[in-house]
Amino acid sequence: MITSTRCTLTPTSRDRIGMDPIFALHGEANRRAEAGEDILDCTMGVLMDEEGKLAVLPSVLAALAAVPVPAVSGYGPIAGDPRFREAAIEDLLGGSALARDALALATPGGTGAIYQATVNFLEPGQSLLTTNYRWGPYRDIAAHAGRGMEVFNMFRADGAFDVEAMDEAVQRQSAGQGRVLIILNFPSHNPTGYSLNEAEWEQVADVLVAASERVPVTVLVDCAYIKFGGSAITAWDAALERLLDATTVLFAWTASKAFTQYGLRVGALIACHRDAEERVQLTNAFNYTSRATWSNCNRLGIRAISDLILDPSLRSRSDEERQQLIDLLESRTSVFNKAARDVGLDWPRCEGGFFVSVFTPDPEVTAARMRDAGVFVIPINGAVRVGLCATPTRALPRLVDALAMGVGAATAQAG
């Protein structure tokens, strides 16, 4: 028996939920599969090939193997090697006017970039703003840093982006806390797969530019799935140019999905501001935060990803390999869309990306009934998230049948 003086965790840190719910469900799926059951695990946000193996770009493995390790054994600059900072901007904004006003800082994945934005654009006690369907860790990143999270309704009844709800929330926050940090996770939103079209980006810009006349506004585009966003990738061009005249525009960029190296922990915070002096302030603030948290990032990974972006032959090789994965995901999405339509499921517009979410009156009941049938999805508020990225095409009919059964059970129970 441990005495109370030996329990030295603070009350705040005691009884934390240490296991991410997605990893917990994935673990259960694995245990049942190992025990011999025929399990379909659609929980994880990693891209699997049609044989169920992790899809990895061979060119990325080659670039990693070719890094002269002694050259990256020492500490790098806190902000990341200059070549990497150039590469991240080139990869995201190459050819766009935004690149002129951009700076980049290495972070451990997109997660590190979101943390940087949260602590530098909100004071303790203030809240970031995002859509009610959202990536789960936003709230934890904010709470852990003494900040909060508020959400606004994402979809109107007709399925379009609810820009009026966003406007109301932005106005409420402007009045209540005197600044706004909004996270927009497009294209290929996690968990719904939704991408804003050009008209929606323009409406978003209207709201945020208007708010910026009253309070400082920071827009963080979490573009974790950008390479898988299809034509939606260019939908933001004009709107972001307009936003940059009035706000700070940030991007959480990551190599995790784009280069299929989730464990490498290579990412960047890319910040755009029209004013060069403000860019110096931003650089200093970000360097300070990095030094005070993770210090340096993975220099070997940074070197390999820089080579993949800046070396023309490596770049075209990795682009070609990635294209096969993009095609695979688009084809899974169109098979899903057709099968889901045939059985009458309700889900947001989805043209590619890693995920889709299916609406249900009771996500817990739907997911539980599906698990009984050996199919694992993630219950979220108002829907279940399905990782098409982790579902081979041949398993899509089983997935859609299980979804129809699970949503049907929830609907019967609710009604």
If the CB atoms of residues 224 and 407 are measured against ligand PLP, the closer one turns out to be: 224
CA–CA dist 154, 131 (Å, integer): 5
Closer CB to ligand PLP, residue 105 or residue 407? Answer: 105
Question: CB-wise, 262 or 359, nearer to ligand PLP?
Answer: 262
Considering only residues 77 through 116, tell me which ones interact with ligand PLP, judged by CB under 6 A.
109-111
Q: Is the Cβ of residue 109 or residue 187 nearer to ligand PLP in the bound state?
A: 109
Contacts (CB under 6 A) with ligand PLP, residues 259-278: 262, 267
- Considering only residues 44, 79, 221, 224, which one is a binding residue for ligand PLP as defined by CB under 6 A? 224
Please, what is the minimum distance in Å from the beta carbon of residue 48 to ligand PLP?
15
**Distance in Å, CB of 114 to ligand PLP, minimum:** 6
- Could you tell me the smallest distance in angstroms from the CB atom of residue 266 to ligand PLP? 8
Query: What is the Cα–Cα distance from 270 to 393, expressed in whole angstroms?
Result: 35
The answer to the question of residue 133 lying near ligand PLP (CB under 6 A) is no
Contact status: 135 vs ligand PLP (CB under 6 A):
yes
118 binds ligand PLP, rule: CB under 6 A: no
Q: Which of residues 32-51 bind ligand PLP (CB under 6 A)?
A: 45
Alpha carbons 152 and 332: distance in angstroms, whole number: 30
Sign of CA pseudo-dihedral 108, 113, 115, 116: positive
Give one DSSP letter per residue of 312-378, joined into a string.
Answer: HHHHHHHHHHHHHHHHHHHHHHHHHHHHHHHTT-------SSSEEEEE-S-HHHHHHHHHHTTEE-E
Those residues whose C-beta lies under 8 Å from the C-beta of residue 411, and which sit 6 or more positions away, are 360, 361
Q: Is 190 in the site for ligand PLP (CB under 6 A)?
A: yes
With CB under 6 A as the contact rule, the residue among 101, 150, 222, 351 that binds ligand PLP is 222
For residues 280 and 275, give the distance between their C-alpha atoms in angstroms, rounded to a whole number: 9
- Closest separation in Å from C-beta 259 to ligand PLP: 10
Based on the shown chain and the rule CB under 6 A, indicate whether residue 294 belongs to the binding site for ligand PLP: no
Say how far apart CA 367 and CA 150 lie, in whole Å: 26
Of 224 and 399, nearer to ligand PLP (C-beta) is 224
306-345 footprint of ligand PLP as x/- string (CB under 6 A): ----------------------------------------
Q: Which is nearer to ligand PLP, 120 or 254 (CB)?
A: 254
Assess 352 for contact with ligand PLP (CB under 6 A). Answer: no
Give the residue nearest to ligand PLP (CB). Answer: 109
Which tokens belong to 211?
């708010």
Measured from the CB atom, is 188 or 212 closer to ligand PLP? Answer: 188
Contact criterion met (CB below 8 Å) for 41 and 48: no
Cis before 187? omega within 30: yes
- Whether 179 and 215 have beta carbons less than 8 Å apart is answered as yes
CB of 224 to ligand PLP, least distance (A): 4
Q: How many residues does the chain have?
A: 415
In the bound state with ligand PLP, the residue whose beta carbon lies nearer, of 192 and 248, is 192
Query: Which of residues 126, 131, 256, 333 is near ligand PLP by CB under 6 A?
Result: 256
Residue found under tokens 């996500």: 363
CB of 15 to ligand PLP, least distance (A): 25
Distance between CA atoms of residues 93 and 244, nearest Å: 14
Nearer to ligand PLP, 186 or 336 (CB): 186
Q: Count residues binding ligand PLP (CB under 6 A).
A: 13
Q: Residue 223: which of 260, 194, 184 has the closest Cα? A: 184
Residue 412 CB, nearest distance to ligand PLP (Å)?
Answer: 32
| Chain centroid offset of residue 381 CA | 17
Specify which residues 292 forms β-bridges with: none
CA 17 to the chain's CA centroid: 21
| SS percent in the chain: helix, strand, coil, step 5 | 50, 15, 35
Residue 185 in contact with ligand PLP, rule: CB under 6 A: yes
- Please give the residue ranges that form the binding site for ligand PLP (CB under 6 A): 45, 109-111, 135, 185, 190, 222, 224, 254, 256, 262, 267
